[in-house]
Amino acid sequence: MKIRIIAALLLAAMLMLTACSDKAPNDAALTTALSEETIPEDVDSLAERQKVSDGIETEDFDGRVFNIIGDDSYTDWYTREEATGDVLEDSIYERNILVSERFNMAIEATVFYAPDQPSMLKNSVMAGDDAYQLFAGHIIYAGEAVGDDLYNDWYKIPHIDFDKPWWSRSTVEDLTYAGKAFLAMGDFVLSAIDSTYAMYFNKQLAADFSVPDMYKLVNDGKWTVDKLIELSTDVYSDLNGNGIADKDDRFGYTIWARSPVNVYLWAFGEKLCKKQPDGTMELDYFNPKVVDIYNKLYDLHWNTTASYTDINPGENIAHMIFMNNRALFIPRTFSFAARDLRDFDTDYGIIPYPKWDEVQDSHYTMVDGGHEALAIPASIQDTDFVGKITEVLCAESWKRVVPTYYDIVLKTKGSRDEESVAMLDQIFEKRVFDFGYVYGVFGAAFWVQYLVYDKSADIASYYEKNHKAYDKRMQDVFDYFDEYGT
């Protein structure tokens, strides 16, 4: 604890010395201040990122408060009152110190249960009280509230630069409609990294069954859904000898039949909404390829002994099978590596979800729906202040918090080899935030998991029964974007 206190004091001293300068603290001293843990030599992004300017001029805001309305699931990721010795928590604490000292202002957070966040924000906006300067909310509930006039258009906020690396490119490509965006993905939202989906494989089982080099398959463009089925087929064994494929057997592939199943739609290169030449969006979620995807996923999960599909909420059977070395593959979020696999004795690897076929240009993924999106409340009174602090918070998160999570917690402790580190970079860069997912409430984005969970291959009937309500919802969203600001 004394070491941490000294580190924090050193950091504060550096900030005092640099308060009147645009120069960042010395990298070596910053590294000491961030953690008493030794940062591995192969993790260099922390030092490299310090050299990237956020382009924001330092200003004295005379003690003004920047209040974030947040999700109570992520309370500790907004503010920290003191250093604790935990490397991730301390990077958040020190990020906030850096921003607060640089601009002579305070960062606070008011958190609510995720479904209640939009109504809490609505109360503030209707009162015009400027109580919150940044909204960090559950992405689906945030999207559901888009027609309630709660949010500013991001492109009207000064100092926000979506070309900077601390903003997801998907904000521009997938969440911008005709030059307008109400929700954005910046690196202040650590949950959007923690909840990113990937595929994990058991290296011991891979060796036992002569599975080819998985990293080479990915890099050569040959890691496809058919290859997943092929490699998984030979791994099955009726370990308990009861003649039934059940949870006590060994499988090539296991999955929880909820969110991890949804990911395949985006992994296979599809989107519910597709950008048009004029910047608007068009629904395209029921086409011949999508039907083929549903059929393929049904076969993968129910027509082969290669897989165990877990439909038992709360029992976590898929997780148990993999952790007991009885599954070659399992799709899970990054948090699985950062937490669950820290004490896993067997070597494992991390790769992207498979592609649809070898022709597909890249591997894609999506982020579990419980993560946050960022919005600027419509009631803010000083766009210059809000724009500056929001941009710098995202920039400093990219420079300090994300490397701590991504390079140290995840890569060094949660990953066992350099190939997996490279895979993580690829996966993170190819996250998709689909307009039709974000604004479609719990609509068509979830049909994949619903059908697999219900063991149904009848996508056509499901579409006929449900598409009108979803289409109506999305048309309302399109109309709102079209009419906003007119």
Query: What is the mean predicted confidence (pLDDT) over 66-86?
Result: 94
pLDDT at 332: 97
Q: Give the DSSP letter of residue 331.
A: E
pLDDT at 411: 80
pLDDT, one tens digit per residue, over 194-211 is 999 999 999 999 999 999
421: pLDDT strictly greater than 50: yes
Domain with CATH 3.40.190.10 in the chain: 38-187+371-414, 197-366+443-483
Structure tokens at 298: 């049904």
Bridge partners, 235 (sequence order): none
Structure tokens at 311: 């439909």
Bridge partners, 377 (sequence order): 151
- 8 A C-beta contact, residue 187 and residue 394: yes
226: pLDDT strictly greater than 80: yes
What confidence tier does 45 reach under pLDDT thresholds 50, 70, 90?
Answer: low
Q: How far apart are CA 310 and CA 316, in angstroms?
A: 8
pLDDT, one tens digit per residue, over 335-393 is 999 889 988 999 999 999 999 999 999 999 999 999 999 999 999 999 999 999 999 99
In sequence order, what are the residues at sequence separation of 6 or more whose Cβ sits closer than 8 angstroms to the Cβ of residue 163? none
- 8 A C-beta contact, residue 251 and residue 327: yes
* Percent share of the chain, pLDDT over 90: 80
Please return the burial class of 21, using the count of CB atoms within 10 Å of its CB with bins 0-12, 13-18 and 19+. Answer: exposed
Q: How far apart are CA 407 and CA 363, in angstroms?
A: 21
Per-chain mean pLDDT for the chain: 89
Bridge partners, 109 (sequence order): 68
- 8 A C-beta contact, residue 351 and residue 267: no
pLDDT at 11: 36
16: pLDDT strictly greater than 70: no
Query: What is the mean predicted confidence (pLDDT) over 34-39?
Result: 33
State in words which class domain 38-187+371-414 has.
alpha beta
Question: Where are the alpha helices (H) located in 104-137, listed in sequence order?
Answer: 117-127
Least reliable range by pLDDT among 27-31, 186-190, 305-309, 399-403: 27-31
In sequence order, what are the residues at sequence separation of 6 or more whose Cβ sits closer than 8 angstroms to the Cβ of residue 400? 34, 46, 49, 91, 94, 95, 98
pLDDT, one tens digit per residue, over 401-418 is 998 888 777 887 788 878
- Please give the helix or strand (H or E) that residue 135 lies within, else none: strand 134-138
What confidence tier does 49 reach under pLDDT thresholds 50, 70, 90?
Answer: confident
Q: Nearest to residue 138, comparing CAs of 56, 80, 182, 72?
A: 72
Place of tokens 């382009």: 55
Q: How far apart are CA 77 and CA 372, in angstroms?
A: 11
Least reliable range by pLDDT among 11-15, 214-218, 291-295, 399-403: 11-15
Question: Which CATH code fits 197-366+443-483?
Answer: 3.40.190.10
Q: How far apart are CA 219 and CA 201, in angstroms?
A: 16
User: Positive or negative CA dihedral for 30, 33, 39, 45?
Assistant: negative
4: left (phi over 0), alpha (psi -120 to 50) or beta: alpha
Q: How far apart are CA 429 and CA 432, in angstroms?
A: 9
Bridge partners, 365 (sequence order): 431
Query: What is the mean predicted confidence (pLDDT) over 254-275?
Result: 96
The amino acid at residue 308 is: Y
Residue 239 DSSP SS3:
coil
Least reliable range by pLDDT among 135-144, 366-375, 424-433: 424-433
Q: How far apart are CA 57 and CA 159, in angstroms?
A: 10
- 8 A C-beta contact, residue 253 and residue 329: yes
Q: How far apart are CA 424 and CA 365, in angstroms?
A: 11
Place of tokens 């020190």: 94
Structure tokens at 97: 């110190």
In sequence order, what are the residues at sequence separation of 6 or more whose Cβ sits closer than 8 angstroms to the Cβ of residue 58? 19, 22, 102, 103
In sequence order, what are the residues at sequence separation of 6 or more whose Cβ sits closer than 8 angstroms to the Cβ of residue 97? 8, 11, 12, 15
Question: Where are the alpha helices (H) located in 149-213, listed in sequence order?
Answer: 169-173, 191-194, 203-208
Q: What is the 3-state secondary structure (H, E, C) of 35-58?
A: CCCCCCCCCCHHHHHCCCCCCCCC
CA dihedral 466, 471, 474, 476 (to 10 degrees): -120
Give Cα 347 to chain centroid, integer Å: 25
Bridge partners, 274 (sequence order): 282
